[in-house]
Amino acid sequence: MNYYEVKGTDLKVSVLGYGCMNLGQRWDQSVLEDKDIERTKESVMTAFEQGINFFDHADIYTYGKSEVAFGELLGEEPSLRQQMIIQTKCGIRFQDDPKPGSPHRYDFSAQHIVRSVNESLDRLQTDYLDVLLLHRPDPLCEPEEIALAFAELHSAGKVRYFGVSNHTAMQIELLKKSIDYPIIFNQVELNLVHNQLIYEGIHFNQNVSIPSLTHGTLDYCRLNDITVQAWSPLAKGLLTSDGMSKSEIEIETSELLEDMAVSKHSTPEAIMLSWLLRHPAGIQPIIGTTKARRILDACKAVKVQLTREEWYHLLNTVIGKNLP
């Protein structure tokens, strides 16, 4: 495994992170079962044994069960905590929370941020988080209130560093106006198929614009030493899994991934991840599979080097046309 030193911190993170979204298995209020905990141990330890030291959570993942399952592992093997970098997210609230009739919403109130962190710490069986991310932009956010929550959590030793997820450049700028701590991560959806953050810079000033709300966010993060994390880096298996309905372009891209994997003695998953790793922004893909074999397939990405020509070949193929 290779590692990044996160600028402005003492964190040395694996270039691939492990996403813990589905460790709890079921997205409902059901009770966590013993078999779920055993699956979690197998998945997490497979990733850890491959050198992945970065584990990404959120308070809402399988209604908190993913954090509980992970916490059971830490409870049994407390020595693992010092070898892991643990990140969680807060801010999304489900419908009917806390009472029937409450809408699905985002909540960056200081009260919710602090309560959410305390509950995540309990579920994870740890007394601190390495990183806390604000999950999705809250249109009603008041940066001064977020700053108060961050200061309380940091001074209490409960959160070491802070970041955001799914935020644009200007949304980050707004937060930075009031927050005294650096924003070190921005976790966004980014993969070979969902490539707008990268492709918008190529398509700028063309006759026909492409729908995009990213507004230079990738370049902004590079300028401001904010590490970009890519969620869904394998596009939910669209290009690498059998049995999924694909367009003609997606079929062609899948075939190219297979050909490249054969030529490099690797896997299509590794090629997709290496496409992100090849970008000079230092993107950290967050892989989310719970299957040990797929974790191993993904980790082969660190041994793959794409040439400039191969990188552009993949991009041309997936957009279905030549570059401008």
According to the model, what pLDDT value does residue 321 have?
85
Residue 78 included in any domain: yes
Q: Which of 3, 18, 61, 128 is an active site residue?
A: 61
Per residue in 184-204, pLDDT tens? 999 999 999 999 999 888 877
In terms of Cα–Cα distance, which of 143, 142, 144, 117 is closest to 132? 117
Q: Is the model's pLDDT at 49 over the cut of 90?
A: yes
- 3 state SS of 316: helix
Q: How many domains is the chain built from? A: 1
Q: Which residues contact 269 (CB under 8 A, 6 or more apart)?
A: 234, 240, 294, 297, 298, 300, 301
Per residue in 275-301, pLDDT tens? 999 999 999 999 999 999 999 999 999
Domain that holds residue 65: 3-239+269-303
Furthest-apart CA atoms within the chain: distance in Å: 59
Q: What is the CATH number of the domain that holds 178?
A: 3.20.20.100
Residue 254 included in any domain: no
Residue 310 included in any domain: no
Q: Among this protein's residues, is 61 annotated catalytic?
A: yes
Residue 75 included in any domain: yes
Residue 215 included in any domain: yes
Q: Is the model's pLDDT at 46 over the cut of 60?
A: yes
Residue 311 included in any domain: no
Give 244's pLDDT tier (boundaries 50, 70, 90).
confident
Query: CA-CA distance, 270 to 302, in Å (whole number)?
Result: 8
Give 208's pLDDT tier (boundaries 50, 70, 90).
low
First-to-last CA distance in the chain?
36
